Amino acid sequence: MNPVPVMKLVEVINGYATSNYVTGTITELSKQLGKTPALANDYPGFVANRILMPMINEAIYTLHEGVAGVEAIDTIMKLGMAHPMGPLQLADFIGLDVCLSIMQVLYNGFGHPKYAPCPLLVNMVASKKLGIKTGEGFYTYLPGSKDLVVSDKFRK
């Protein structure tokens, strides 16, 4: 998981034809690096992205449909679910282009409408508002400042 030196998890992916020997070797190797391995079979999004990305996509839908604002959504998920970061802040951190591309992998891989990327996410990527790396996503990022400022686009 990213950032690699910091995160403790290695999501070990078992392909359809992967032998137990290979899976065992990788599991052992991960432990040697001080990481905790967890096993998943090779299907779109594995486990981490299959669960995380629809949550982020749903947060974007929640914003898009006017259910709540950026700050409210992130505060509710942070304090209510004890997540270290709200889903919209996390999306900015991952990069909205990466989020969109993962949703497309899930949508194409399963063919189920529940994975359809939120049109707001598609629009933001098309407008190059990709999060931290472009200086603006759901929040605005100024060089040298660590304050979380909601982007003008989402302020009432």
Binding site for other proteins (CB under 8 A): 2-5, 25, 29, 32-35
Q: Which helix (H) or strand (E) holds 36?
A: strand 36-41
Cβ 81 to other proteins, closest distance in Å?
26
Q: Residue 113 in contact with residue 44, Cβ under 8 Å?
A: no
Cβ 66 to other proteins, closest distance in Å?
33
**Of the two residues 56 and 118, which places its CB atom closer to other proteins in the complex?**
56
**Of the two residues 25 and 108, which places its CB atom closer to other proteins in the complex?**
25
Q: Which helix (H) or strand (E) holds 79?
A: helix 70-81
CA distance 108 to 19: 27
Q: Residue 14 forms beta bridges with which residues? A: 41
Cβ 2 to other proteins, closest distance in Å?
6
**Of the two residues 73 and 137, which places its CB atom closer to other proteins in the complex?**
137
